[in-house]
Amino acid sequence: MPRSRYLPVLLLLLVTLLPAAAQEGPKIQSEKRQAQQGPPRAAFSRADSLRGALTPLRTCYDVGFYDLRVRVNVADRRIEGSTQIVYTATTDFQEMQVDLFENLQISRITHRGTPLAFRREAGAVFVAFPEAQRRGAVDSITVYYGGRPVIAKNAPWDGGFVWTQDKQGNPWVAVACEGIGASAWWPNKDHPSDEPDSLYLSCEVPRPLVCVANGNPRGTSPAPGDYTRYDWKVTYPINNYNVTLNIGAYTHFADTYTSPDGDTLALDYYVMPYNEKKARRQFAQVKPMLACFEQYFGKYPFPRDGYALVETPYLGMEHQSAIAYGNDYQPGYMGRDLSGVGLDFDYLIIHESAHEYWGNSVTAADHAEMWIQESFTTYAEALYVECTRGYETAVRYLQGEAQLIQNAEPILGPLQVGYSRWLTSDHYFKGALMLHTLRNVIADDKLWFDILRGLSSRFRHQSIHTADVVGFINAKTGKDFTYFFDQYLRHPSPPVLQYQIKPEAGGVELAYRWQADVPGFAMPVGVGFRKGSYTTLFPTTDWQTVQLPGSAAAFRVATERFYVQTERLPGGAAPKSK
């Protein structure tokens, strides 16, 4: 998902305040942070728990396939249709939960052609069977529904349907629902832990409009009332919020990406006809980007369904194999450079395409763990910069983003309460700096990139938890980095390197330790006397001392490689080593 629309303003404020803040120690900054944090996350309601919790009424079945059929009445802003949910019973059960927003009406739910009883509470629909569903059985229900779906106030951050017109006055309709959930417009098991193995989507729209959805087109046919039916098929697991519709007067052009080993990938582009010339020029970035991502993360994860960009009336979203693009064919973020390295690439293309790996293929199993998709995706932007412009420029890119970190809340949110109400974008920026830090802690680029490719491969097309990522990295490195992830994910602030430094003959004596929330925190860090030339220290939470050749005035911590805070303590006798 793209970053907050407030980021350009936030960047300006932070750049203005940064010089003053840099002169303050962490203790002073900590006191100020208390006043900057604002109100705590809102209390979670019963509706939040129904959306986010994996109760027995949800874990009793595993979705294998959705057959979604929807008719879009553009003039009345209404939809009607049905969802067939094909599932495998994971245990014996007689009642199950599916999800659909309250403002959409359900006319009936059927099982093998027979109506089923159901009741509704908030966005949850509880479906009762006359007889028990037996463990291991493969079966299905069909939910028939309709109504006026939620209208997005400011897509994609405030999700729902977008009803608007293009520059030529044609209807233009789109859907973005990551935050509020797919059940805002179609019935499903609305939890990221359960992706279907495949999905079929049939969309009826008024002629001569075109409907573009996920996967590959499976044909068109006339529909009653001067409508056209467009059929689409997704042949891979897909996160429910990635399922989308794009309706408009689209034109289409295509291309092909060829991997170094000769494999080809279909590239499809759907844009407004008056923007085709700009799109052909802007979308030329796709093939070199795919080459970079293939180098770092492995092959594109949805080759049968292909890669597509679809122009939308909102900024963008990572809709699987139908990426929403609304950056108006500008470089950077809506024409702005948030990093300071230059405006030579389209942020939306790079960021949302990286989500095909991190978010669409490797998916967080709970919304509280969105760092899995957003941190890796934001870090992927820096890797794209590294691939095209070198490591030092990538470091500058990350340092630009570091100015946007607020350290006001943990990156990990509360589990099983639906979409977490993030106060900040730290799961983007701080998460990316955390990964950059881990790369330098590991200090072995071959191993680091083996880890990234390994994560992408091992958890391909899966929903996973934080523990899966940490366990994989621990196994791959042969070291326990649990302490590292606990500090950066579960606590608002990064570790603080406290130190005292005093001149002595031939150099300085440095006393140092970590101040951290995690007991026994022990992360290597680089220090030195000029940028680019560092000595690695191995601080713990106990004081240590070391003699270094250099001037106290020139001493620095490698904060461009390690996202940490520093605090130089007053002079005096250095603490003794323990």
Tens of pLDDT along 427-449? Answer: 999 999 999 999 999 999 999 99
Q: Are strands 323-325 and 307-311 parallel, antiparallel or unpaired?
A: parallel
Token match 């080993």: residue? Answer: 261
**Kind and range of the H or E run holding 124:** strand 124-133
Read off the tokens for 552.
């106290």
Q: How far apart are the first and last CA of the chain?
A: 47
Q: Please, what sign has the CA dihedral across residues 360, 364, 367, 373?
A: negative
Residues 6+ away with beta carbon under 8 Å from 515: 26, 495, 496, 497, 498, 541, 567
CB atoms closer than 10 angstroms to residue 531: 10
Average pLDDT, the chain: 91
pLDDT digits (tens, 9 = 90+) for 18-75: 333 333 333 323 332 333 333 345 568 888 889 899 999 999 999 999 999 999 999 9
In this structure, which long-range contacts are made by residues 76-80, counting pairs with CB atoms below 8 Å and at least 24 apart in sequence?
76/148, 77/148, 77/151, 77/161, 77/163, 78/146, 78/147, 78/148, 79/146, 79/147, 79/148, 79/149, 79/185, 80/145, 80/146, 80/147
Q: Exposed, middle or buried by CB within 10 Å (0-12, 13-18, 19+), for 568?
A: middle
In the prediction, which pLDDT does 517 show? 98
Structure tokens at 473: 């990295």
- Nearest one of 181, 205, 180 to 79, comparing CA atoms: 205
Does 410 sit behind a cis peptide bond, omega within 30 degrees of 0 on the bond before it?
Answer: no
CA dihedral 193, 194, 196, 200 (to 10 degrees): -90
Q: Can you state the angle between helices 482-490 and 466-477, rounded to 10 degrees?
A: 150
* Residue 281, token pair as written in the block: 């020029």
* pLDDT tens digits, 169-198: 999 999 999 989 999 999 999 999 999 999
CA 495, CA 433: separation in Å to the nearest integer?
A: 13
**Percent share of the chain, pLDDT over 90:** 84
pLDDT, mean of residues 199-225:
98
Q: E-assigned strands of 198-329?
A: 198-206, 210-212, 216-223, 227-234, 246-248, 251-258, 264-271, 307-311, 316-317, 323-325
Q: 7-36+258-490 in CATH: which number?
A: 1.10.390.10
Question: Is residue 116 pLDDT above 80, yes or no?
Answer: yes
Sign of CA dihedral 285, 316, 49, 434: positive
Dihedral sign (CA 311, 317, 323, 329) = positive
* Residues present in the chain in total: 578
For 159-179, give the DSSP string: -EEEEEE-TTS-EEEEEE-TT
Residue with tokens 């463990």: 135
In angstroms, the CA 442 to CA 524 distance is 9
Least confident of 26-30, 136-140, 273-277, 407-411: 26-30
Provide the whole-model pTM: 0.92
What is the pLDDT at residue 6? 41
Token pair recorded at residue 514: 């970590």
CATH number for the domain running over 60-249 = 2.60.40.1730
Is the Cβ–Cβ distance between 109 and 141 less than 8 Å?
yes
Is residue 558 within 8 A of residue 524, CB to CB? The reply is no
Distance between CA atoms of residues 511 and 509, nearest Å: 7
Written as six digits, the tokens of 566 are 């520093």
CB atoms within 10 A of CB 432: 28
Among the listed ranges 125-139, 335-349, 377-391, which one has the minimum average pLDDT value?
Answer: 335-349
Using CA atoms, how far apart are residues 406 and 33, in angstroms rounded to an integer?
Answer: 9
Distance CA 276, CA 270 (A): 9
> Rounded to the nearest 10 degrees, what angle do helices 445-458 and 466-477 cross at?
140
What is the reported pLDDT for 416? 86
Q: What is the dihedral of CA 340, 341, 346, 347, to 10 degrees?
A: -60
Phi, psi (deg, nearest 5) at residue 480: -95, 105
Please say if the pLDDT value at position 5 is more than 80: no
Query: Has residue 221 got a pLDDT over 90?
Result: yes
Contact 234, 320 (CB under 8 A): yes
Question: H or E segment at 536?
Answer: strand 533-537
The domain segmentation of the chain, as residue ranges, is 7-36+258-490, 60-249, 496-568
CA distance 130 to 142: 16
Q: Assess whether pLDDT exceeds 50 at residue 356.
A: yes
Are 108 and 114 within 8 A, CB to CB?
Answer: no
Confidence of residue 574 (pLDDT cuts 50, 70, 90): low
Rounded to whole angstroms, the maximal C-alpha distance in the chain is 91
Comparing CA positions, the residue from 257, 253, 256, 255 lying closest to residue 275 is 253
* Calculated CA dihedral for residues 512, 513, 515, 517, nearest 10 degrees: 160
Convert the pLDDT of each residue in 153-165 to its tens digit.
999 999 999 999 9
Q: What count of other Cβ atoms lies within 10 Å of the Cβ of residue 543?
A: 17
Does 77 have pLDDT greater than 80? yes
Q: Which of 162, 234, 168 is closest to 198 using CA atoms?
A: 234
Sign of CA dihedral 468, 470, 475, 477: positive
Instruction: Please give the pLDDT value at position 25.
Output: 38
